[in-house]
Structure 1
Amino acid sequence: MTTPDAPAIVCISAGHPDVLAAQFRRYEHEYDLVITGSALEAKHRTKDLLAAGATVALFVMETNLPDATWYEAMHMMRTAVPTARRVVVSPWETFIAESTDLRHALAAGKFDAHLLLPRGVRDEEFHVAIGELLNDWGATAAPQVESIQIIAPEATALTRAISDFLLRAGTPHGMHHPDSPAGRAVLERWEGPAGSWPLVAAPGIVEHCTSVRQLAVRLYGRPDDIDVDEVIDLAIVGAGPAGLAAAVYASSEGLSTIAIEAEAIGGQAGTSSMIRNYLGFPRGISGMRLTQRARSQALRFGTRFYTGWPVTGVTPGSDGAPHRVHTDGGDVLARTVVVGAGVTYRRLGVGSLEALVGDGVHYGAAMAVAPELVGQDVVVVGGGNSAGQAAVHLARYARSVTLVVRREDLTSTMSTYLINEVSYNPRITVRGNCEVVDGGPGEDGHLAWVDLRDVVTGETERREVRALCLLIGAEPQSAWLPEAVLRDEQGFVLTGRDLPPEAWLDGRPPTDLETSVPGVFAIGDIRSGSMKRVASATGEGATVVSLVHGHLAGLG
């Protein structure tokens, strides 16, 4: 039996309500199943649910309705509950005929999936799709199963940073007030001084957490947990898509492999709310889920991960000696090193806004704070796919999202499918030829306003906003590399034939992904000339492993 405030699955069908009722009966223990015969009835039932304090996780709608077109009905449902996932189903006899129009609408983000109405029992392909959508909804709503709990009287820059780290790590968690039932239960286990916020509770652990790194060390350990005399076959610096692919292929082929990540597994890709053009995921997949699946795959083959430890340097080995990878958590000896540290978002450089990072100003998509923005206005700065994905995700919660770009429009920087999705969303407005030049806090110390300047006319406009998300280009994270590893003028690492001839050994260029230091390779966004796409990064991660094998063979 569901509870009165259980999330609902609302099905809308005039022709096959019995089929949908039978198919969704398996979810009734955890969701409130509502079967309606028209768009208007669904609207009224949804209104009643919201008034009772419940919400809707999923709308499932047949195309042929008696009182509205599928487009009108879907727009109605999206307006009622923007956070709900939306599915259109077609019976077999009309599926092919309807697919063309619905495919274009799906690409524009008008709904999340177009599925064939099940024609029998145990249509597991149908339920895999439904399960993925409910899983995606649950990851962005308050999770019912919490592996970790954060206890604090109010949200702060630190609690938001901890929550963002856990979200990117794929760890279900929740934040609770000390006076809440969960908060009181944790305080009963706490043996330290009162007023130590935030407290972080996990099975068998209650700690006063003072930094994200402290939590990362507790969850993933330190690099110097490795025996000081052990020499690893491969040390991967950075666990974004490129590094994760290298970890999977290297460890599956028997190489002793570690991956050291400065922030959270997945890198910047892990903050993408939905990647729709990655091969093999027709309904899309969030960056967090994609990279966490890759991490689980690498762990299965034996890769060891150390998260929260920026690599501070590499001392190249000579005459076959191993390279020494340095971190504040200890050094690692490795026969080969793959650099996949990626890039970081370029800083805005406005002092008044830099002072508010974590208090309304965020570098990245700010997925963890999105639920705090219900009914608020948000500005996203950036014209790439990451900015578009952030705008679409934030629009599920915020009253309005303004996407600010210095160029005239998005056509030269964003994928067409995402431009269409941004354009269709009524909560998103694109401001071309515009930049953010100032901002400041309100009485609570949180971001309250920003100034937007038209780069053509010079006119400035002040906007009241609750969040500013900055995704404004990339700078390579390569300053820690030794001088022997050559880079281009922007700091991206040179590899293969892009290296100048004077850096070649014995007149021969390094292999395609090898740097100017033998046995040190570069992959993904940090590499000069890379495509800056998730698929190409994973391809380079897979490719580099064969080059690593070749180098190890040369070492004998």
Structure 2
Amino acid sequence: MGTPAIVIASAHHADVLAEAFGRYDREYDVRVVGDEVAATATAKELTGSGKQVALFVVDTDHDQDRLYALIGGTRKVVPTARRLIVTHVSRFRDDNRTFRHAVAAGKVDALLLMPQGPRDEEFHGAVGELLNEWNATVAAPVIESVRIITPEKDALTRELLDYLGRVGMPAGVHHPDSEIGRAVLEQCPEDEGRWPVVSSMVGWCGHCPSVRALANQLYGRPDDIEVDEVVDLVVVGAGPAGLAASVYASSEGLSTICLEAEAIGGQAGTSSMIRNYLGFPRGISGMRLAQRARGQALRFGTRFFTGWPATGLTPAVDGGPHVVHTDGGDVHARAVLVATGVNYRRLGVDSLEELVGRGVYYGAAMAAARELAGDHVVVVGGGNSAGQAAIHAARFASSVTIVVRRPDLTATMSSYLIDEIEWNPRITVRGSSRVVDGGPDDVGQLAWLDVEDVTTGEHERVEARGLFLLLGAAPECGWLPDVVLRDERGFVLTGRDIPSEQWVEDVPPEDLATTVPGIYAGGDIRAGSMKRVASATGEGASVVSSVHAWLGQ
């Protein structure tokens, strides 16, 4: 691919911007042009020669109509590039009002004040975030933390790539006959022929039969914990609620262990860009948010064990500890937070279940979106996760259709996402519809879907190479004992939602307390939760005061 490019379009401040972006010259091909025609021509020249454009920087000194033409033109030529508007200090206040909607609607990724002098690190910090996001979601990794060796990119290989993307580990797939493939197989020749073979920077090399096996190798198993140790708090689930609880509990001196069945971050980790999370005005990907929270928790002393789901919970007896069971060992704790979140519901169409991993994916599957360049993609679901998945897929696919049973998205999706979807010319919303069938091509990959109009019953067959299913919440708490009460849908009851006959002396339990003293629930698994990242984070943080009070009894 060669060195990725940064294209700067400025009619009157090209010298200022060229000087500011001089620090990127060593690692990016920085091009400075004067107008929208030259910017589009430069982008076409770069892509035609096999180079990628990582970032377009556009000065607001252009006429507004020409400016929007430039932004739209760059999106058509290079939809995967990030777009940054910069404005001179003399126009910043007016431009901020003028272009605020463009940022909110996703027409551009950020609006920044032009650098006022050398070492404007506020400006370069924002540029760095945009380039970091592009490198994580678009560019092939320069340094591969994990290498996957396989003759074909099968469903398991795609699952491994998706998992590694969610935990922020750059990975590459290589054929056994390639130079890298041969070098890896020399480390573990006994595994050749048992694909995929995985090699990681930590020194492990061998056949990898599942995502769980990879997680165990990367993060360890719960049976590494000393069996005689009783910790203050075990957090089951490392989504936003579990991560927040881990940070606040360990920072306040509680010995804390966090168990995660799959990837740190849970479903939130699959979000390509969360734009309404407090404190991140330019947005943050779910993966970045999760990895920062994990690093924060580790810094305070939380121990993480990934790849072993909880299989049972034995409540405390006679003042003893609660015991969380996994196939890899037991964890004893004085308090437990259940934060296992939810899974996406299955579609229930047999023909499509057979194609999972071969064009059909549950969740956003961000790594898979890269392989769908130029294809039509269908996203099923009306929540924020579905909206974020559609916007991410539209950077690669030629067109994206959101299929939702409701007439539109207004009842289930945040307004800022709806605005971004309405503006994006590659995304279409198909309301009052559902996917009822699908089938493969000659090589076994998804090729077509049947979509039904739920009001008329009419069917339409559409070509589609990707189907992303984000179908709502199915709680992950079958491992809990019956004494931890749940509602009719399987979500854990807490606080005043617990039936009054379970209250002690007619006093309801605390807001996040379950029917078992010392066991709490937070995040999406809790009955009545908001199913939003920020609310889950708040619940995870607030439960720590209750845990302190319980341990002090």
**Under TM normalisation by the shorter chain, which class is it?**
over 0.9
Letter in 1 for 2:537: T
Which of 140, 143, 156 is 2:141 aligned to? 143
TM-score by length of 2: 0.98
Partner SS, residue 436 of structure 2: strand
Amino acid at match of 2:55: L
Deviations 1:189-223 (A, max 9, x none): 33215322111111322211111111111111111
Give the AA of the match of 1:85.
Answer: R
Shift of 1:505: 2.9
**Counterpart of 1:361 in structure 2: which amino acid?**
V
Letter in 2 for 1:9: I
**Superposition deviation, residue 180 in structure 1:** 3.0
Distance in 1 separating the partners of 2:520 and 2:153? 41
1:281 equivalent in structure 2: 280
Paired residue for 1:458?
A: 457
Q: Following superposition of structure 1 onto structure 2, how do residues 116-515 of structure 1 map, counting pairs within 5 Å?
A: 116-141=113-138, 142-203=140-201, 204-515=203-514
Letter aligned with residue 393 of structure 2: L
CA drift of 1:101 comes to 2.0
Retained in 2: the 8 A contact 1:92–1:117? yes
Separation in 1, partners of 2:247, 2:319: 25
Moved more, 248-257 or 190-199: 190-199
SS at the partner of 2:51? coil
Amino acid at match of 2:237: G
- Tell me how far 1:508 sits from its aligned partner: 2.9
- What displacement does 1:341 show? 0.6
Is the 1:313–1:325 Cα contact (8 Å) retained in structure 2? yes
User: 1:477 deviation in Å?
Assistant: 1.0
Counterpart of 1:38 (choices 35, 46, 49) is: 35
SS of structure 1 residue aligned to 2:416: helix
CA distance in 1, matches of 2:171, 2:249: 32
Q: Answer whether contact 1:14 1:66 (CA < 8 A) is retained.
A: no
Deviation for aligned residue 1:391: 0.2
Q: Shift in Å at residue 496 of structure 1?
A: 1.4
Structure 1 residue ranges without an equivalent (≥5): none
Give secondary structure in 2 for the equivalent of 1:77.
Answer: helix
Q: Distance in 1 between matches of 2:45 and 2:365?
A: 31
Give the Cα separation in 1 of the matches to 2:39 and 2:185: 43
Per the TM alignment, residue 518 of structure 1 is displaced from its structure 2 partner at its CA by 0.4
Task: Please give the per-residue CA displacement for 1:19-74, whole angstroms capped at 9, x wherever unaligned.
Answer: 11111111111100101111111111111111111110000000123796211100
CA distance in 1, matches of 2:64, 2:349: 52
2:191–2:207 CA contact under 8 A, matched in 1: no
> Which residue of 2 is the match for residue 19 of structure 1?
16
Distance 1:256 1:297 in 2: 15
8 Å CA contact retained: 2:191, 2:197 = no
The separation in 1 between residues aligned to 2:16 and 2:142, in whole angstroms, is 29
Aligned counterpart, 2:80: 83
> Which letter maps to 1:166?
L
Residues 71 and 83 of structure 2 are in contact (CA less than 8 Å); yes or no, is this contact kept in structure 1?
yes
Q: Partners in 2 of 1:166 and 1:219 — Cα distance?
A: 10
The answer on 1:113 being equivalent to 2:110 is: yes
Distance 1:233 1:363 in 2: 35
Secondary structure at the residue paired with 2:90? Answer: helix
Letter matched to residue 12 of structure 2: G
Q: Secondary structure at the match of 1:290?
A: helix
Structure 2 SS opposite 1:92: coil
Q: The residue matched to 2:401 in structure 1 has which SS?
A: strand
Return the alpha-carbon distance in structure 2 between the equivalents of residues 522 and 252 of structure 1: 20
Determine if contact 1:38/1:67 at 8 Å carries over to the other structure. Answer: no
Q: Where does structure 2 lack aligned partners over 5 or more consecutive residues?
A: none
- Aligned partner letter, 2:535: S
| In structure 2, C-alpha distance between the alignment counterparts of 1:110 and 1:289, rounded to whole Å | 22
Counterpart of 2:462, as a letter, is R
Distance 2:472 2:198 in 1: 34
In structure 1, distance between residues paired with 2:331 and 2:51: 51
The residue number in structure 1 matching 2:48 is: 51
User: Structure 2 counterpart of 1:57, which letter?
Assistant: A
Amino acid at match of 2:51: A
Deviations 1:417-448 (CA, angstroms, capped at 9, x unpaired): 10010011111111001000001111111111
- 8 Å CA contact 2:54–2:131 kept in 1: the answer is yes
TM-aligned CA deviation for residue 506 of structure 1:
4.0
Q: Which amino acid aligns with 1:339?
A: V
- Provide the aligned length of Structure 1 versus Structure 2: 551
3-state DSSP of counterpart to 2:552: helix
**What TM-score comes out, normalization by structure 1 length?**
0.97
Q: How far apart are the structure 2 equivalents of 1:284 and 1:132?
A: 10
- The alignment partner of 1:200 has SS state of strand
- Please state whether the residue corresponding to 1:551 is helix, strand or coil: helix
Aligned-residue identity in percent: 65
Which AA in structure 1 matches 2:141?
A: P
For 2:171, give the aligned amino acid. Answer: H
Between the aligned partners of 2:527 and 2:192, the Cα distance in structure 1 is 51
Q: CA deviation at 1:501?
A: 2.0
State the distance in 1 between where 2:506 and 2:335 align.
22
Amino acid at match of 2:432: N
Distance 2:63 2:313 in 1: 67
Does the aligned pair in 2 maintain the 1:451–1:461 contact within 8 Å? Answer: yes
Amino acid of the structure 2 residue aligned with 1:416: S
Amino acid at match of 1:187: L
Contact kept? 1:39, 1:68, Cα under 8 Å: no
Residue identity in the other structure for 1:146: E
State the Cα distance separating 1:529 from its structure 2 match. Answer: 1.2
Matching residue's letter, 2:338: V
Quick check: 1:452–1:460 contact (8 Å CA) kept in 2? yes
Following TM superposition, by how much is the alpha carbon of 1:181 offset from its aligned partner in structure 2, in angstroms?
A: 3.1
Distance 2:378 2:235 in 1: 35
SS in 2 for 1:475: strand
